[in-house]
Every structure is written in structure tokens, then in C-alpha cells.
Amino acid sequence: MNSRYSRQILFSPIGVQGQEKLQQKHVLIIGAGALGSGSAEMLTRAGVGRITIIDRDYVDWSNLQRQQLYAEQDVEEHLPKAIAAQKRLHAINKEIEVIAHIQDVTALELEQLVHDVDLLIDATDNFETRFLINDVAQKYNIPWIYGACVGSYGLTYTILPGETPCLSCLLESIPLGIATCDTAGIISPAVSMVVSHQVTEALKILTNNKDSLQKRLISFDVWQNEYSTMNVQPLKKPRCPSCGEGAVYPYLQQENQTKTTVLCGRDTVQIRMPFSGEIRTEEYAKLLENKVEQLFVNPYLLSFTADDKRLVLFRDGRVLVHGTKHVAEAKSLYHRYFG
């Protein structure tokens, strides 16, 4: 056995057999931002045999404060995060396989990627994608680890199909009006704490130490010195559409996915989220105040300027992103400011 992993092998719950298991496993990380890059590096150093990373974005200066795989040169070269991560991970450990996908995450792509995957790690910035992950995980019986952080707050939860409540059991529908890193900021210790919890749970699953899994939802605030765990097992719903009897996996169905349309002749992309209902634009205005330019709100809509683009949110949940014809760019801006 390679001496590279000697200290990990000395840890008795892993040992030689656990290390051999790690080298045979395949982990899919959805998102290569703060959580994704941190998890990818830890799992690479741990010797997980194959890591697939999917991300639609490129490295930006604002990422360097907390996204540990990236450097200034990546920003200057406008490298996609998946590619920059792949290059860095290969430099760390040439023994493992790192696969990079530069693309948006849709139900179709996700279902194509998961067939030989042992574990899914959520490193996304939005609940739309998390509900896709949840349904795919339930459909193909793959464990996944939810993680999120904003400001100094973090949250993580391990979901085992057939055993624990799934994300739909806990939330039922896509939440709206959630603070994001672009509206509330973030500090890197909160990221590191979530990554540590996610990767610890990942190592337990990949080495077949499931009896040691947390089995509780973990939340904390590193600035306010708060840490708590919650038993959410009673929230498991027998008739949940994603994990219950006769599950239909609603978020994998076309009619329940985000609709995007490039408006002809207007240099504008329209985005419509599923299950949105009526939006309280004044609540978004409070989140965005002093974070964006030219913020305007009236009883019918909210609009503002960010990254040289004009975004308009209507009360029926539609968003117009003016100044681009690229759907991926428009969706990235949407999730950045609307959670």
C-alpha cells in the first residue's frame, strides 16, 4: 500500500481495507465552488479512485477568498472551475482519475452521469439543483450529502435512500427568498466547517462505516459560536413523491423543471422556476439593498443592475435577465441573487 496514505490507514476505522475501498469508489461532486473545491481536494488527498466534477461557471476574483483550489492565474486565464479544479487535483494526486464537465446541471445530464457513482456530494448554490440531486439519488438508490453555507452559517445533512427523510420530506417545495453569498457575504471558516462534515460523512459511506453516520441535521454559526443537531427522522413521509411508496420523482419531470427562453431580438433570457407561486418582491428588495445598483421595487416587480446586466423579477416568479442571450449565464445570475 502506498505510503502516501499511511497516516489515514493508521486510523483504525479505515485501515488497509478501508483504503482499498476508497480507491475503488466513484464520487460525483455537483458544483466546483467553495464547498465543491474543498471536498474535491480532501477526497483527492484521501485517495478516492475517481472523482467527477460538474460546474457551469468560471473562476472569478471574488472566488479566491474561499475557493481553495484556485489561484490568480486561473482568473486571468478565465478558466472554467471544473477545468481549473481538475488541473490542481491532478497536481495533488496523479494516482486518481478526475473527470471534469463544464455544463449546467439538468435532469438529463445528471441521470446520465450517476450510473456508476457511489456517492453524490451537493456543492451547489441553489435549491433547484438540490431537488434534482435528491430525486436522482432516490431513483437510483445513491446516498448523497447536502451542504450549504452563507455568512457565518452552515448546514449539512446525509441522505440515505430508503432509510432517512429525503430533501422533499424536509422542505416539500423549492424555498424562495433565501440569502446567498452575493447578498449576505460569506467567510471561509463556515465553508471549511461544512466541507469537514461532508467529507467525514463521505469517508464513512465509502469505507462502509455507515453505523458511524451522523443521522441528524447539523447546523452551526461559527461567528455566533452556535452549534446544534436535529433529529429529522420523524419527518420522513410515507407518501413523499420523491422517496415514498409509488415515488414519481417530480423534479425529474419536464413540466417541473425551470423554463428558460431567449427572447427574440431583445438580448434577454426569461427564467421561470417551477412551484413558485406569488413572489413578495419587497422581501427580495430587503435582501438586495446596498448589494446591487439601481434597485427599484413597486407592487408589480423588482429590478436592479448587477454585472452589467439588468434583472427584473415579477410577482409570478418570472425573471428577465437583460443583456445576455446565454442561458447558462442568465441562470448563474438568477441563482446568485435569488437563492
- Where in the sequence numbering do the catalytic residues fall? 181
The dihedral over CA atoms of 129, 132, 137, 140, expressed in degrees to the nearest 10, equals -140
Q: C-alpha cell of 7?
A: 497516516
218, 197 contact by CB (below 8 A): yes
Query: Which residue is it, cell 429529522?
Result: 232
Measure the CA–CA gap between 129 and 132, rounded to whole angstroms. Answer: 5
64, 87 contact by CB (below 8 A): no
36, 53 contact by CB (below 8 A): yes
DSSP secondary structure letter of residue 155: E
Count, residues in the chain: 339
DSSP secondary structure letter of residue 211: G
3-class DSSP state of 50? strand
